[in-house]
Every structure is written in structure tokens, then in C-alpha cells.
């Protein structure tokens, strides 16, 4: 067996530091399980559907990791990775991901493990690569390294109560620092006290929905707060954002009935990279104030309004611009299209089952609005509660606010997802089984989801502050998107990334 004095990560001496796509430190699932205040979350995790979903996700991600990391030729690689993922989810861990290489991005992961679990990692990696690996020493600790070709090598270093695992040499400096701290302090970094999770993300290094953001770093924290999860984030843009607050023009007389969801935003487009087809569209609500609310009387009773000084003229231009910009992609996506009726006083999204969203120009007490409705609104219902509106009125740094009864909205987002997609997985197919697991999990979670409140405020020309308080941490639409992505059901309108075509509304391409 070959023996090296140092891992390849250190053999070439100091390297230029690599900007990680993701850095994180998590106290582990076992710590959440010990927090007796998180009653709703504990009930969710105790659901049989949650266990089924976790099993599915571990199996699927084991296969993904096997393919992405190119872990040897052993056909049992995925089953050998699966128990290791259990450790990652359960125990305290930290690490950096996304090195310089595109084809084989590097990472480093440190896990607090008992000796028996650390030995399992060594044994399983040995089975995957067909051998015990090459021995090396770093900072007086013995490690093993398996070369999968070129710079794609996997290494592990047991260090007291910790196990370091990584690929390549992109994070050589972090490896050295972790081992030095373990040798001096018994752990690679100080323990998390109040926060359960701390993370730092580089939007430019991440795909999916992160590519919609202006280049920025995101500093994320998650902490238990009584019976809720308190989520906070600081979004630090690379440059100052030209955002300016305007007095709120809330369509109070349009908002009538029992509201179960209320969302507002003000010029959120300033913080996004949008497709020119949308950014140059007349009457774009993302460059304006917008108000979205949902009612409780029946499913899918949703409305949206945004102020326009000459709403009828704006609608006239939109009736020509919007179909030209989006109909080709809408027809390809789900067979729907934007049409202008013969009278020309509305814009309709046609060919969606059950309902047809309609955009009209309306006159409110406080001015004119473009008004989007899924069904006709009630003119005699009670006004929106003042306790909800005072969350918005008078605030000069508020970019986005969202409140919802998450369980009620969850049911509607599931329904809306299937309707917009206009398709379903065939029965007795793997995708159908995954969709059933997803549906059972979301259905069991709904009664436990409670209220979710999210606020985004501007605290500096290049900085946003995000706060979220929720029993399970996510909103209804986020839960549907997450479940859809985890199960790879591909039955919802939006998956792991925004549409990538040239006419995609939110794509910067």
C-alpha cells in the first residue's frame, strides 16, 4: 500500500483560496429532535409519510451522489452511500462545497461521529473503490485516499471525535485549519449555541432559482424560537441597488372577504435579473407595488392588484405585448395562452382547467389598478382586517411582506400545481409512486403548518434583511416545490430551476 507524507491537497504548498458556493455549519437533526418546544415540527417528523419521504430522498440522493462523484464501479455504491447520508442528516456537521473544478467540484465535510460510525465510512468507501486506499498523514492524523482519476480523489481523516471527508485539494486550507483546531480545541469550530444552522451562499456559484438574484452573498441562519423556526438572512449585493420606496397605495376596497394569504412587494425587480421580455413589459408588477391575496370561501379564490395611473391604456398595450412575449412558451409548457376577448377590455389566460385568470383595469377608492382575478370578486364581503393592513402602512423600508395560513394554502398550491401543469404521472409508474408519497406527505403536514410570516426589508443600498417565522420553516408554495423536487415527480408547474428558454419570464438569458 502506498504511503504519502501529506495528502495531495497539501503537496503543492499554499494555493490561492477558492470561493465556496456553499459554506455551512449545522447542529444536526438530533438536536432539533431534542428541542421539546418545536411541537408542530416534531409531529411532522413523526408522520409515517415523513419517514417514507425521507427514505425515498436518501435513496435518490445516494444515486445522485454516486453519479456526480463518480464513486468507482461498484453497482452497490448507492446502497453503501445511503447509511452515510443518515449521519450527515443526524449529527453536527460543517463544510464547504463547490471548488474550482467544474467537472468534479471539490468539497470538505467535517462530521462529529462515534468511532464505529467513522469506521463505517472507511469500510464503505473501501467497498466502493475496491480497496483500503492510500495512507497519508496530516497534522499528526492518519487518513486514507482513493483516486478516482485525475484530480477526482476522495479522502477521509478520522480526527478524535470528528471525521473529515473531502474531494480534491480545493479546500486544502480548510482541511489544515480544521485539523489544527481539533488538535488544539477538540473541535474544528466553536459549537453553535442559539442557531441550529448557519450558512453562507454565493448566488453566482449556484444554479436554479439563485440565478435570478443580482450577484450577491447570502448569510443564512435558522434557530428554534419557542414552537417556531426563526429564519434570518442577509443578502449582500455586489453593488448598490437602485431601489426607492414609494407611499403604499393599498387597494383596500378591492380586498374583501375572509383572507387566508396576503402578499405585497415594492419594486422587487431591482434585486432580480429578469428576461428583457418581462422587464420591458408595460405595467410590470415587479417594478411596481403589487398586492396578492387569497380568500377562504372556496379553493383557488386568488386576486392580485397593482396601481397604474392610466390602467386602461396600460391594459391596452399589455393585450398586445404579453401574448407576443409569452404565448409560444405557454403553449409549449401546458397548452395555455393569453388572449384578448372581442371587446378588448381584458386579458385572459385560456386553457387552464377549472378557472381562467382574467386581467382587467379597475377603479378603486385610492386610484386605478390592474386587477388579476381567478374568479369574480364579492362586492358585499367584509373589508380586510386593519390588523393585517397595519403591517404595511407607513413602512418606508419594506420590500416584501407575506402572511399566510400555510395549511390552507398548501392544499390550494397542490391543486394549482396540477392544474397549471395539465398533466399527471401515469398510474403504476415510478413517477406515480413518487407523486403518491409527495401527496401523502403534504396532506399530513397541512394541519400542522400554522401561520407563516416573511418580511424583506432594505437596510442598506446593497443589503436586504429577510426574516421568517414558521412552525415548519417554509411557506406553502415552497413546500410544494421542495416536495416536487425531492420526489422528482415533475408534475408541478415549477421544478428545481426556472424555465431556461429565451422567453422565460424570469430568466436573465
Residues 295, 299: Cα–Cα separation, whole Å: 8
Identify whether the C-beta of residue 175 lies closer than 8 Å to the C-beta of residue 44: no
List, for residues 440-469, the tens digit of each pLDDT value.
999 999 999 999 999 999 999 999 999 999
* pTM for the predicted model, two decimal places: 0.86
> What's the number of CA atoms in the CB half-sphere (13 Å) around residue 201?
19
List, for residues 379-432, the tens digit of each pLDDT value.
777 888 888 999 999 999 999 999 999 999 998 888 877 766 544 444 444 445
Residues 403, 331: Cα–Cα separation, whole Å: 33
List, for residues 4-37, the tens digit of each pLDDT value.
333 333 333 334 456 799 999 999 999 998 898 8
CA angle 201, 205, 29 (to 5 degrees): 40
Find residue 111's DSSP bridge partners. 93, 163
Q: Do 279 and 167 belong together in one domain?
A: no
Whether 38 is in a domain gets the answer yes
Place of cell 435558522: 222
Q: Do 96 and 189 belong together in one domain?
A: yes
Q: Do 377 and 281 belong together in one domain?
A: yes
DSSP assignment letter at 41:
H
Q: Do 181 and 263 belong together in one domain?
A: no
Q: 85 phi and psi, to 5 degrees? A: -65, -30
Q: Do 246 and 187 belong together in one domain?
A: no
Identify whether the C-beta of residue 41 lies closer than 8 Å to the C-beta of residue 32: yes
Q: Do 144 and 248 belong together in one domain?
A: no
Question: What value does the mean pLDDT take over residues 80-107?
Answer: 86
The answer on pLDDT for 2 being more than 50 is no
Q: Do 180 and 248 belong together in one domain?
A: no
399, burial (CB in 10 Å: exposed 0-12, middle 13-18, buried 19+): buried
Q: Do 242 and 171 belong together in one domain?
A: no
DSSP assignment letter at 401:
E
Whether 224 is in a domain gets the answer no
Q: Tally the domains of the chain.
A: 2
Query: Which range of residues forms the domain containing residue 417?
Result: 237-487
Q: Which helix (H) or strand (E) holds 399?
A: strand 398-405
Whether 363 is in a domain gets the answer yes
Dihedral over alpha carbons 49, 52, 57, 59 (to 10 degrees)? 180
Q: Do 278 and 400 belong together in one domain?
A: yes
The answer on pLDDT for 211 being more than 80 is yes
Q: Give how far Cα 132 sits from Cα of 87, 129, 150, 466, Å.
A: 21, 8, 19, 47
DSSP assignment letter at 469:
E
Q: Do 151 and 57 belong together in one domain?
A: yes
Find residue 293's DSSP bridge partners. 262, 303
Whether 218 is in a domain gets the answer no
Predicted confidence band of residue 345 (pLDDT cuts 50, 70, 90): confident
Domain boundary among 164, 193, 222: 193
Residues 377, 361: Cα–Cα separation, whole Å: 14
Q: Do 307 and 249 belong together in one domain?
A: yes
Q: Do 158 and 251 belong together in one domain?
A: no
**Quick one: cell of 215?**
450577484
List, for residues 226-246, the tens digit of each pLDDT value.
899 999 999 999 999 999 999
Whether 208 is in a domain gets the answer no
**Quick one: cell of 456?**
424583506
The answer on pLDDT for 370 being more than 90 is yes
List, for residues 56-67, the tens digit of each pLDDT value.
888 888 877 777
Residues 177, 188: Cα–Cα separation, whole Å: 7
Whether 503 is in a domain gets the answer no
| 3-state SS assignment for residue 92 | coil
Amino acid at each position: 500500500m502506498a504511503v504519502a507524507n501529506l495528502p495531495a491537497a497539501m503537496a503543492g504548498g499554499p494555493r490561492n483560496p477558492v470561493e465556496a458556493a456553499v459554506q455551512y455549519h449545522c447542529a444536526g437533526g438530533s438536536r432539533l429532535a431534542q428541542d421539546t418546544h418545536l411541537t408542530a415540527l416534531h409531529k411532522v417528523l413523526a408522520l409515517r409519510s415523513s419517514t417514507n419521504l425521507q427514505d425515498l430522498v436518501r435513496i435518490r440522493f445516494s444515486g445522485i451522489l454516486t453519479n456526480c462523484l463518480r464513486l468507482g464501479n461498484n453497482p452497490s455504491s448507492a446502497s453503501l452511500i445511503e447509511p452515510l447520508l443518515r449521519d450527515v442528516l443526524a449529527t453536527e456537521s460543517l463544510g464547504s462545497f463547490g471548488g474550482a473544478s467544474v467537472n468534479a467540484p471539490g468539497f470538505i465535510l467535517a462530521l462529529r461521529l462515534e468511532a464505529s460510525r467513522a469506521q463505517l465510512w472507511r469500510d464503505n468507501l473501501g467497498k466502493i473503490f475496491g480497496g483500503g486506499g492510500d495512507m497519508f498523514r496530516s497534522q499528526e492524523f492518519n487518513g486514507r485516499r482513493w483516486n478516482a482519476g485525475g484530480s477526482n480523489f476522495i479522502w477521509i481523516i478520522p480526527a478524535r471525535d470528528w471525521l473529515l471527508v473531502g474531494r480534491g485539494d480545493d479546500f486544502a486550507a480548510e482541511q489544515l485549519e480544521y485539523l489544527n483546531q481539533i488538535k488544539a480545541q477538540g473541535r474544528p469550530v466553536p459549537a453553535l449555541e442559539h442557531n441550529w444552522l448557519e450558512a453562507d451562499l454565493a448566488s453566482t456559484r449556484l444554479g436554479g432559482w439563485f440565478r435570478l438574484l443580482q450577484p450577491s452573498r447570502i448569510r443564512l441562519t435558522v434557530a428554534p424560537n419557542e414552537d417556531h423556526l426563526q429564519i434570518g438572512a442577509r443578502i449582500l449585493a455586489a453593488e448598490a441597488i437602485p431601489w426607492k420606496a414609494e407611499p403604499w397605495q393599498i387597494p383596500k376596497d378591492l380586498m374583501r372577504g375572509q383572507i387566508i394569504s396576503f402578499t405585497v412587494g415594492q419594486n422587487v425587480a431591482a434585486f432580480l435579473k429578469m428576461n428583457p421580455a418581462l422587464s420591458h413589459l408595460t405595467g410590470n408588477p415587479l417594478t411596481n407595488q403589487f398586492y396578492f391575496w387569497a380568500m377562504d370561501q372556496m379553493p383557488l379564490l386568488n386576486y392580485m392588484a397593482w396601481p397604474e395611473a392610466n390602467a386602461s391604456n396600460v391594459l391596452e398595450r399589455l393585450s398586445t405585448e404579453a401574448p407576443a412575449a409569452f404565448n409560444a412558451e405557454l403553449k409549449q409548457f401546458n397548452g395555455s395562452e393569453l388572449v384578448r376577448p372581442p371587446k378588448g377590455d381584458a386579458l385572459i389566460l385560456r386553457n387552464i382547467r377549472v378557472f381562467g385568470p382574467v386581467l382587467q383595469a379597475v377603479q378603486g377608492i385610492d386610484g386605478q389598478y390592474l386587477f388579476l382575478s381567478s374568479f369574480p370578486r364579492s362586492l358585499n364581503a367584509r373589508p380586510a382586517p386593519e390588523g393585517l393592513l397595519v403591517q404595511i402602512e407607513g413602512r418606508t423600508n419594506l420590500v416584501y411582506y407575506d402572511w399566510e395560513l400555510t395549511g390552507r394554502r398548501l392544499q390550494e398550491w397542490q391543486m394549482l400545481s396540477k392544474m397549471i401543469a395539465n398533466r399527471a404521472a401515469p398510474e403504476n409508474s415510478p413517477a406515480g409512486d413518487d407523486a403518491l408519497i409527495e401527496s401523502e406527505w403534504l396532506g399530513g403536514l397541512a394541519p400542522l403548518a400554522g401561520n407563516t410570516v416573511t418580511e424583506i426589508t432594505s437596510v442598506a443600498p446593497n443589503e436586504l434583511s429577510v426574516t421568517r417565522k414558521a412552525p415548519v420553516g417554509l411557506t406553502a408554495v415552497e413546500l410544494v416545490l421542495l416536495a416536487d423536487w425531492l420526489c422528482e415527480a415533475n408534475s408541478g408547474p415549477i421544478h428545481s430551476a426556472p424555465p431556461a428558454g429565451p422567453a422565460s419570464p424570469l430568466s436573465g438569458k
